[in-house]
Structure 1
Amino acid sequence: MEYDEKLAHFRQTRLNPFDRGEEEDQPEGGKATQQHEASSELFSETKTHSSDRTMDLGLAEDHFSRPVGSFVASDIEQLKLAIEECKKLILELPEHSERQKDTVVKLIHLRLKLQELKDPEEDEPNLRVILEHRFSKEKSKSVKQTCDKCSTIIWGLIQTWYTCTGCYYRCHSKCMNQITKPCVRSKVSHQSEYELSICPEIGLDRQDYRCAECRTPISLRGVPSEARQCDYTGQYYCSTCHWNDTAIIPARVIHNWEFEPRKVCRSSMRYLTLMMPRPVLKMKEINPLLFNFVEELVEIRKLRHDILLMKPYFITCKEAMEARLLLQLQDRQHFVENDDMYSLQDLIDISTGRLSCSLTEIHTTFAKHIKLDCERCQAKGFVCELCKEGDVLFPFDSHTSVCHECSAVFHRDCYYDHSTTCPRCARMTDRQQDEVEEEK
């Protein structure tokens, strides 16, 4: 009770910067005297500030001087009024003046306090699971993040927020119960395939003139909400679900070899981001004619084929296993498993020339180990049995050909001249016949 009486007396004698009437009625000397008396009576331990600084501090006196936990509903209304008055004062003060800068700072503090009262910080769990999202509580105080649900800034200083560890969906703690979209990573895990039709539009009428995700009414006229098309799905979305993000569209790459980013909705952007390193594109089946027009693809296919021929040498070589040569392709493990599956990231790197350079370097390293550095791998080479001349041959050499039946290696010219006969296959056939005769 004593605190409330002192606070009421202090408010009566304190100068209010928004009360223009009092400012005009009272003389300067009287105001300074009353301020000094009130300050010395209530806060004798604090130092006396200048009159201008005292006026500015008056903006927040009603909201920051109370004990913690004593806020009531009227405080929010008072803060709103103080914010509006602070805005007016900023416009009236001279531009770039010190008082205007101080008032702007005070306005920021008032807004933060208002947000804190509306959304008080509570003890939140560190991990929450909603619609297959695995949300982890963030400790970052950055204010540069945006909530994917309400499309407003996340004030990390005073708000609790979470990030999905699977699809990186970010949202306020208060928005989590309003999430209706399942985690995109679950779709990537269960349905790892792209939409291979270019912008398959179905029209707003088929969507009932509603957002394809949140079902908010939309139209091309922007009334009641703007309709934004996703170039990946071909559907229309509201501005909350479609932020005009851009991404490379897989269908346009495969059919047109086009890498220009197009506007996509938020869910499509997250899906394409997670799918980008996944080798799900079988180019031979989807668009085999592309190899006739893109020379870089042919070069990469040859390098990948050679690497698959080198793989048996490495998995049986102790030195190669200790050196972990195959781990040089750990970012593209599918390169040591097959030569016909591509990821969207592979195609992007092929178009920029980055993949050709890195893969050529790895190919050279692998060939050097087999042909020069390792005696065990050298011993697994072949001698052309057709001409029985020349150096030791390996299946990945550019001037060699490999028998499809027994995998023997020959000079390419020799193999074409004697394509009807393979000495190794002939010996194996004779051996089998001899075994059959012996059994009889």
Structure 2
Amino acid sequence: MVDIKSNSSIVGENDSHYESRIRANSSGTGTSTPSSSSDYMTGEADDSSDSKGTIPCSLKSVETMLSLSKDASEEDLQEMVRKCKLMVLESAECSDERKWLVRRLIELRLRAQELRETSDENLFETCVILGHHFVPQKYHIITSGPVYCDHCSGAIWAMLQSWYMCNDCKFSCHWKCLSNVCRVCVHVVASEAGGYTHTKDICPEQGLSKQSYRCAECKVRITFTFSKGLSLSCFGSSFKHTESAWVEPRLCDYSGLYYCQRCHWNTAMVIPARVIRNWDMEPRLISRAAAQLLMLLEDRSVLPLEELNPKLFTLVPDLSLVKRMREEMQMMKRYLVLCLDACTQGLPWKIGLRTHMIENSSNYSIKDLIDLQSGILLDELRAAYDTMHAHITQQCELCKARGHLCEICGNDEIIYPWDASSIICPQCLAVHHRVCWAKRNHCCPRCARLQKRRALQGQDTAEDCDTDETAKDS
């Protein structure tokens, strides 16, 4: 005969042990997760449950009976919970079977609770809140790691809980937190700020007093009430506090504002202003709102570097090399867009290069500058440059026929505007050898010929006018 009271206490111990182990595991994640950056987490962890691991051989026959299915109703889950309880009580103490059953019991209870909370008919419709376009992700399986709620900073059990994600800024939150979201979508913020641009000032900090000692996002009050730390309360739930703990307001290096721990997860990212001014690629700690904005603008070419800091091209040799290659690829593009073979091959667009690198030669994205520092961008540019150059000068006869011959020296060598030994006449755009151009004292024979032709045409026009006037007089 099994003692039900003792077994239920064991179940509770297993539950508490499992949750404490989840807290320990979640605290080992990276610095951008709320569980590692603060000590007020409620104990939720990612959706990688241990019940998905090795199943004891004696329980393989009942695995199907207790399986979690997205089609299971609340009544089915309650029945599975009841059966799982009985099996827990009948299993041996501290056995692998009991541990697996306890973990499965927790999952079944969570799924049943979630079904009760999400019985609303409009649950699976897209919600528009503060510019966010929230789309339900209830059965979306996460493979890249744990997901955390951007509102309460608690972990989202993706396979057990209903949750939403914004299509524009990837803001994630529990279904129960949806009505309390207070952060405006960064997609809206960026578009209303005069276009998709970055802050050009390095950490424009003004201090907590300027914010009235409140979080810049959720407006929670930051009070110095403990002798050895701060007491913070965010979204109606206070943070854990110990006498030795220091819960500090966190500075965002991008905006210069202070945030509480639930709005600032110590996410480290490269700051565009520091790259533009100092060529500083060191990641700095920023708030969640700033992190979402930087991720949104990461691939957008919104940095006109020559206008913002022209001296950067002399200080960074690779940057001047990229600029020259982009200018030459702009010239090659004029050849390729007129070539049918190039269009068939997808040139110049389908060569594995970022589109804005070919469309213009002045704007950069923050990802371009980071990849330039690591050498990735130069490798991509060289590969694309070689492909375009080989098509024009070697593979395609039509593109090769559009080349130029130097009129000064009369050499039969075909030259192109982007050649290092060539120069373009600024008046008629004729291409000559740079050496020949210097010997001719920068005088273009084509310009001289065109000027002479215009003069002759002017004389002919004047003579025709005189003849007409004479005929009228007679």
Answer yes or no: is the 8 Å Cα contact 2:207–2:257 preserved in 1: yes
Equivalent residue of 1:246, what SS?
strand
Once the two structures are TM-superposed, the CA of residue 198 in structure 1 deviates from its matched residue by: 1.0
Task: Please tell me whether the aligned partners of residues 228 and 239 of structure 1 are also in contact (alpha carbons under 8 angstroms).
Answer: yes
1:150 aligns to what?
152
Task: Decide whether the 8 Å contact of 1:121 with 1:158 is kept in 2.
Answer: no
Would the alpha carbon gap of residues 243 and 433 (structure 1) be closer, same or farther in structure 2, given more than 3 Å must change? Answer: same
Asked if 2 retains the 8 angstrom alpha-carbon contact of 1:230 and 1:236, the reply is yes
Alignment match of 2:389 (pick from 358, 367, 370): 367
Q: For residue 188 of structure 2, what is the amino acid of its counterpart? A: S
Amino acid at match of 2:124: P
The reply to whether residue 126 of structure 1 matches residue 125 of structure 2 is: yes
| Cα displacement (A) at 1:218 | 2.5
Equivalent in the alignment of 1:192: 196
Letter of the 2:190 partner, please give it: V
1:183 is matched with 185
For residues 219 and 404 of structure 1, do their structure 2 counterparts lie closer, same or farther at Cα, with a shift above 3 Å needed?
Answer: farther
Residue 261 of structure 1: CA displacement? 1.0
Q: Tell me the percent identity.
A: 37
Match for 1:439 among 443, 458, 461? 461
- Equivalent residue for 1:322? 344
Q: Is 2:316 the partner of 1:294? A: yes
Give the AA of the match of 2:431: V
Given the alignment, which residue of 164, 167, 170 partners 1:168? 170
1:394-405 matches, cutoff 5 A = 394-405=416-427
Matched residue, 1:215: 219
Q: Which amino acid aligns with 1:105?
A: R
Task: State the one-letter code of the partner of 1:349.
Answer: D
Map Cα deviations across residues 80-133 of structure 1 (whole Å, 9 max, x no partner). xx9xxx9xx9xxx99x65587368537735863784487354441332222221
Separation in 2 of the partners of 1:306 and 1:404?
16
Relative distance call for 1:437 and 1:359 in structure 2 (3 A) is: same
Q: Aligned equivalents of 1:425 and 1:282: distance in 2?
A: 35
Q: CA separation in 1, counterparts of 2:370 and 2:77?
A: 59
- Residue 127 of structure 1 aligns with an amino acid whose one-letter code is T
After superposing the two structures, state which structure 1 stretch, 238-247 or 174-183, moved more.
174-183
Map 1:11-30 onto structure 2 (within 5 A).
Answer: 15-18=3-6
Aligned residue number for residue 306 of structure 1: 328
Range with bigger deviation, 333-342 or 207-216: 333-342
Partner of 1:49: none
Higher helix share: 1
Deviations 1:237-282 (A, max 9, x none): 0111111111110011111111111111111111101101111111
Counterpart AA for 2:206: I
Residue 263, structure 1, aligned to residue 285, structure 2: yes
Q: Contact (CA 8 Å) 1:243, 1:265: kept in 2 or not? A: yes
**How many residue pairs end up in the alignment?**
364
CA distance in 2, matches of 1:122, 1:331: 47
Partner of 1:31: none
Q: Which of 221, 224, 239 in structure 1 is aligned with 2:232?
A: 224
Partner of 2:35: none
C-alpha distance in structure 1 between counterparts of 2:252 and 2:396, whole Å: 54
CA–CA distance in structure 2, aligned partners of residues 116 and 186 of structure 1? 31
Unaligned segments of structure 1, at least 5 residues: 1-12, 21-66, 72-81
The answer on whether the counterparts of 1:132 and 1:186 sit within 8 Å (CA) in structure 2 is yes
Give TM-score, length-normalised by structure 1.
0.75
- 1:222 is paired with a residue whose SS is strand
CA shift, 1:156, in A, is: 3.0
Query: How far apart are the structure 1 equivalents of 2:356 and 2:410?
Result: 37
CA 128–412 in structure 1, closer or farther in 2 if over 3 Å, else same = same
Greater RCO, 1 or 2 (C-alpha within 8 Å, sep 6+): 2
1:140 counterpart residue number: 140
SS in 1 for 2:285: strand
Q: Secondary structure at the match of 1:162?
A: strand
Q: Which residue of 1 aligns with 2:298?
A: 276
Query: Which amino acid in the other structure matches residue 218 of structure 1?
Result: I
Question: What amino acid maps onto 1:433 in structure 2?
Answer: A
List per-residue Cα deviations over 1:123-172 (Å, max 9, x = no partner). Answer: 41332222221111112255932111111122234421111111111111
Query: In 2, Cα distance between the equivalents of 1:69 and 1:345?
Result: 50
Which amino acid in 2 is paired with 1:224? L
User: 2:106 maps to which residue?
Assistant: 108
More displaced 10-residue stretch of structure 1: 128-137 or 103-112: 103-112
Output the amino acid matched with 1:178: N
1:348 is paired with a residue whose SS is helix
Larger gyration radius, structure 1 or structure 2: 1
What is the aligned counterpart of 1:393 among 415, 418, 427? Answer: 415
Residue 249 and residue 335 in structure 1: after superposition, are their counterparts in 2 closer, same or farther (change >3 A)? same
Q: Contact 1:141–1:155 (CA<8 Å) still a contact in 2?
A: no
